[in-house]
Amino acid sequence: MFRRARALQHPVTITLDGADVPAERGEPLAVALIASGRVTLARSPKLHRPRAPTCLRGGCDGCLARVDGVPNVMTCLRPAAGGERIEVQNVVGSRQADLLQVTDWFFPQGIDHHHLMAGVPGLSGVMQSIARKLAGLGQLPSAALPPERAARLDVDAAVIGAGPAGVAAASVLSARGLRVALVDDGLAPGGSLAGAPRRAAELLARYPLDGVRVLRRHVAAGVYLGELLVAGDAGATVIRAPAKVFATGAHDGVAAFPNNDLPGVFSARAFCRLLACGVEPTGPVALAGEGLWADELASALGDRIAVRIPLAALAAVNGISRVKSVAVRDAPFAPDSPTSDVRVVAVAVDAPAAPAFEVAAQAGARVEIDPRAGYAVQVDARGKAGDGLWAIGECTGASLDLAGIERAATTLADDVLAARGAPA
């Protein structure tokens, strides 16, 4: 399905279930595995359907694996250093042939094990026990993880999310003389622009994050008693910041069609990330939807796009363990319209994104339903979302507009300084 488009510059070796896999030092483990043709990396917890990465940003379960004895590692957020031992978890058999997938064959429409044989003396308890043993997300770590000391960090402003909006906001705030911490779970600042390296380089050239304390590969767990708790590989950090700026972006949109979870179905943004890492498809690709990332992908792949269609025209994806073809409606908005099959090796979907509002809401920010995008953080004209809280970018329901983000970052910084009683 995929292959390397260029030679490795800093090669290292990782293993998947004991087999050696070449990787580029620093690239996500999931990208290295996809580049070697190993797209199916996980199994769904209950029905054991094949799963593969779809977002490459830690928002799906398709890349979860056991790494160096630790279960449930997001391999899309773990950089390759060399020597990592990756094992597929929650399978009986192998990565490609999980014997427990027979559950899916017997119950193709799903199974509610809570009511299966419920009330049948003797059998009800047995079924519950079997279901608990079959389901899950891997065994416990091979060894107990050592306790880590929590650290404290005092700053004037904490920015959560290092995508375009977070980078711009953190850089402007720092340039205004504030002590700023920038927290992000990704491998490098830039967020979704990892799929557009030229745009990312231009952004960081304009907003170089001078003086900003950048905490990469740190997850913002929540705000408790006014303090931000973040977790990283080395333990937890408690950040005390009078101003908290949420720039958490948006989750890749998911379109509803049969087999939308089949290995080989990616968001258009994630597909662009693969291309940026030098990984390309081995055959034709179907592109469904409209937007910035669909346009980026179409420009990058050119005539390797076998068919570009509206989301409504994508009737289904065909295949058993991976994408084989797509069924395209002749009349996109007529559900009963005849379809035609187009053979492809992968599908890229650019669906409306869903604002990542969760952490901001937990902190007390105003959140309301947005008819266009779902729940979104509500802000005023200055970017304020609550007492000591601000938000910017896609988490507010705004589109990915780089020029608009830059204007909003300046306005937001002015308001943060005004709230501190400092001149803008």
CA distance 207 to 403: 13
- pLDDT above 60 (res 142): yes
**Per-residue model confidence as pLDDT tens digits over 54-103:** 999 999 999 999 999 999 999 999 999 999 999 998 888 888 888 877 77
151-251+356-419 and 265-350 agree in CATH topology = yes
Give me the architecture of the 2-134 domain, per CATH. Roll (3.10)
Helix (H) or strand (E) holding 180: strand 180-183
The predicted pLDDT at position 117 comes to 67
Whether the Cβ atoms of residue 77 and residue 53 lie closer than 8 Å to each other: no
Give me the architecture of the 151-251+356-419 domain, per CATH. 3-Layer(bba) Sandwich (3.50)
Tokens of 199: 């745009």
The answer for 33, left when phi > 0, alpha when psi is -120 to 50, beta otherwise, is alpha
The predicted pLDDT at position 401 comes to 87
**Residue 115's pLDDT band (cuts 50, 70, 90):** low
CA distance 344 to 325: 5
The predicted pLDDT at position 130 comes to 67
Tokens of 153: 């960090």
CA distance 189 to 161: 9
Whether the Cβ atoms of residue 359 and residue 239 lie closer than 8 Å to each other: no
**Per-residue model confidence as pLDDT tens digits over 145-202:** 888 889 999 999 999 999 999 999 999 999 999 999 999 999 999 999 999 999 999 9
The answer for 241, left when phi > 0, alpha when psi is -120 to 50, beta otherwise, is beta
**Per-residue model confidence as pLDDT tens digits over 186-228:** 999 999 999 999 999 999 999 999 999 999 999 999 999 999 9
Whether the Cβ atoms of residue 24 and residue 9 lie closer than 8 Å to each other: yes
C-alpha dist (Å) from residue 370 to 333, 401, 420:
24, 18, 31
Whether the Cβ atoms of residue 241 and residue 156 lie closer than 8 Å to each other: yes
The predicted pLDDT at position 132 comes to 65
* Residue 46 identity: K
- Domain segments of the chain: what residues? 2-134, 151-251+356-419, 265-350
CATH of region 265-350, choose from 3.50.50, 3.10.590, 1.10.3470, 3.30.70? 3.50.50
- pTM comes to 0.91
- pLDDT above 60 (res 424): no
CA distance 79 to 189: 14
